[in-house]
Amino acid sequence: MNKILLPLVLALATFFIASFAFSTQHSTLLAIIVLLVVMWTNEALPLGVVSLLPILLFPTFDIMSTNATSLNYSKSIIFLFLGGFMIAIATQKTNLHKYVSDKLLTLFPSTPRGILFSLAITSAFLSSLISNTTTALLLIPIAMY
């Protein structure tokens, strides 16, 4: 219960303090931001729920319309990141990153310079085929192994 009470108290305090310097709409937006950030950081609600709360809260408090708010959830860059994350998770789940790491380490020496060179060659090859974001996401599990 305290995990949900703390964000509400901080949001109300933010609204009260911000109302001295900002308009009501701006103060409300600041309070909602504080509410969401504190709920996110102390895990009062699951992350997926907190991330969808602006769709409910912004129209309720007349910050933005539902259509304007939900448009931000379907930008193409969001799907680019989502696809990259899915490919990286699939790579880890199937242990492909271990296979790739083992093969790279047989081609290059196991020195720090050799490891960096193998990652550089791998990233150059992957970047020519897929987006840089996905390349970075794929290299993280390979480098960590």
Task: Please list the pLDDT of the chain residue by residue as tens digits (145 residues).
Answer: 688 899 999 999 999 999 999 999 999 999 999 999 999 999 888 888 898 899 999 999 999 998 888 888 888 788 878 888 888 888 888 988 788 777 877 888 878 888 888 888 888 888 888 878 888 888 887 777 6
Measured CA angle at 31 (ends 48, 7), to 5 deg? 60
Cα dist from 84 to 77, 131, 132, whole Å: 11, 8, 9
Asked whether the CA dihedral 50, 56, 57, 63 is positive or negative, the reply is: positive
- Helices within 42-111 (DSSP H only): 47-60, 66-71, 76-93, 96-107
Give the span between the Cα atoms of 87 and 136, in whole angstroms: 11
Place of tokens 């790739």: 100
The predicted structure's pLDDT at residue 145 = 67
Cα dist from 29 to 32, 134, 142, whole Å: 5, 33, 41
The predicted structure's pLDDT at residue 27 = 94
Domain segments of the chain as ranges: 2-73, 76-144
Determine how many CB atoms are found less than 10 A away from the CB of residue 38: 20
Q: pTM for this one?
A: 0.58
Are 7 and 35 a contacting pair, CB within 8 Å?
A: yes
Helix, strand, coil % over all residues of the chain, rounded to 5: 80, 0, 20
